[in-house]
Structure 1
Amino acid sequence: MAVLLILPFVAIYGLVFIYPTIKMFILSFTDAPLIGAGDWVGLENYERLPRDRRFHTALWNTFYFVALTVIPGTLVALVISLGINRLKGRLQSLVLALFFLPYILPVSVVYLIWDWTLNFQFGIAMHLFDWAGADRIPVFKSTAWFMPAVGFVTIWWTAGFSILLFLAGRRAIPEEIYEAASLDNSGSWSTFSRVTWPLMWPVTALVSTIQLILQLKIFDQVYLFSQGGRPNDNLVLVYYVFQRAFQSNQGGRAAAVAVVLFVIVIVVSVLNFQLTRLSGGRRK
């Protein structure tokens, strides 16, 4: 009976995940185009990667973007959630809804909002630069500014879900613990560092791991904000897979990059979650 209950899930999981993953690994050892068969080339696609300048750029930009977003985004969500938790009633619901609203927006809408805001020619923020007497900054056309700007937009866009998780973790802490801390004349910082932070560490591990997986697979924002700019300077790994597969029709080489990204996501996510849990255990 149990087998019959889980069989539909196993069948769907195998069809939409296991089978495509196996095909991707096999494809990475061939010179196949995006659609159609190819000849077996062994490790040739992987051996090309260390000599591929665009792959190096994509790898560097991906990890740079992760550094800009994962830890800062986690800390921002934690601080906001603690502030929202202090509110009561409808005000709390309203503020939480305002912070969660960007998360439900499609990436195209997020792109339009921030393009209207930071566009070099007509962006609202550029008019503020003019008012202050400062030079305008071509945020999405400059290699130096591009990744920090997209990282900021991504934190604004995705923080709502992390805030919700942190808020749930904070509400799971019994209020009796805080009452006992107040009786011991514990200050705000002492209560946070000795009570709130250690007890919310498992949620922090979960949020940072989710953010790490999401940001390693960054594509949409980079692709949209690169339009009309210098896309090869802004490459990330998924964008590079897109270029190889859909623009150069090199399915085998694209699959090799996808396999590398797949391994990176698995290894880095597991290490991050385990290290976060171990460090949390030592804090208790």
Structure 2
Amino acid sequence: MIRDQRREWVAAYLLILPFVLIYGVLFLWPTVQMVYLSFTDAPLIGPGKWIGIENYVEMFDDRRFWTSVRNTGYFVALTVIPNTLIGLAIAMMVSRLKGWQQSVILAMFFLPYILPVSVVYRIWNWMFDLQFGIMQHPIALILGKPTPVFRTQWLFMPSVAFVTIWWTCGFNILLFLSGLRSISTDIYEAAALDNASRWTIFRRITWPLIWPVTALVLTIQLILQLKIFDQVYLFVQGGRPDPSMVMVQYIYSQAFQKNEGGYAAAISVALFVIVIVVSLLQFQFLRARGEK
């Protein structure tokens, strides 16, 4: 018995060893190096001298850093909850379809998700073009005249958020559709026999049973949107980057454009802490909400 247990332990350790090695080399060691680098004045490539917490003191006094934090938070507010609710609404509509119709509609919604960000940028930059973009027609009806949305400060973030939701919503739809399919039809049939309205069925049956998937989608979206970079960087080309700068873009600016690796590492540590703290707070809130 003791020999069999030892063999099982050895086999278990051998199976998890590759993952532990890869995780340590690709995540833990770079994280430790990033934290160490944040206490130095090192350039992007090469060593630097130890300066203690000077980078962090400079960061907290940096107006551009706080601008990037506000812009990131604003973008998260514009995308996380709307993207989740839109994905749930579309998934519920798609779930009512059957056969090839459901497959075709689901593929149409999921297709944008597989596009690279450069293609998404080209599509929507053309559609919002001031001279011939087809989106300028509804914009002119609302604002009274054609408007360059990616060159207008108050429209920039909402426009990028709109594009992001269009681009990433397909994955949320797929997750919600999987959750909806796991709900037994017997529950809905029993509710129909009791003459329950659609709103009652959603509030009393669908929403509580789909809540674990909703919490998963919210968490994934929160982490992804806190790390927003590609869309903002591409759409801001030719405009003023500072008013619309997000945190990862600011890290890129400090590291690759100004060659301040130590200061960029300090901002990266701040973003890392923000992602962990906000994710944990949201997880605790969603778990408490799900237990009610």
TM range (shorter): over 0.9
Q: How far 1:128 sits from its partner (Å)?
A: 5.7
Matches within 5 A, 1:37-116: 37-116=47-126
Look up the match of 1:209: 219
Q: How far 1:13 sits from its partner (Å)?
A: 1.0
Which amino acid in the other structure matches residue 42 of structure 1?
A: G
Look up the match of 2:42: 32
Partners of 1:90 and 1:7 lie apart in 2 by: 44
Partners of 1:185 and 1:90 lie apart in 2 by: 30
Q: Is structure 2 residue 170 aligned with structure 1 residue 160?
A: yes
Match of 2:264 among 238, 249, 254: 254
Look up the match of 1:148: 158
Which amino acid in the other structure matches residue 234 of structure 2?
A: L
Q: How far 1:184 sits from its partner (Å)?
A: 0.7
Secondary structure of the equivalent of 1:124? coil
Look up the match of 1:125: 135
Q: Unpaired segments of 5 or more residues in structure 2? A: 1-10
1:195–1:262 Cα change, 3 Å? same
TM (norm. structure 1) is 0.97
Q: How far 1:162 sits from its partner (Å)?
A: 0.5
CA-based RMSD of the aligned residues comes to 1.3
TM (norm. structure 2) is 0.94
Partners of 1:8 and 1:210 lie apart in 2 by: 26
1:160–1:130 Cα change, 3 Å? closer
1:126-182 C-alpha deviation (Å, 9 max, x unpaired) = 256569993111100111000000000000000011100000111111111101101
Q: Unpaired segments of 5 or more residues in structure 1? A: none
Which amino acid in the other structure matches residue 102 of structure 1?
A: P
1:27, 1:252 within 8 Å by CA — same for their partners in 2?
Answer: yes
1:45, 1:253 within 8 Å by CA — same for their partners in 2?
Answer: yes
Partners of 2:223 and 2:238 lie apart in 1 by: 28
Match of 2:183 among 173, 191, 214: 173
Look up the match of 1:241: 251
Partners of 2:154 and 2:139 lie apart in 1 by: 18
Q: How far 1:187 sits from its partner (Å)?
A: 0.6
Partners of 2:99 and 2:220 lie apart in 1 by: 29
Deviates more, 1:122-131 or 1:150-159: 122-131
Aligned residues: 282
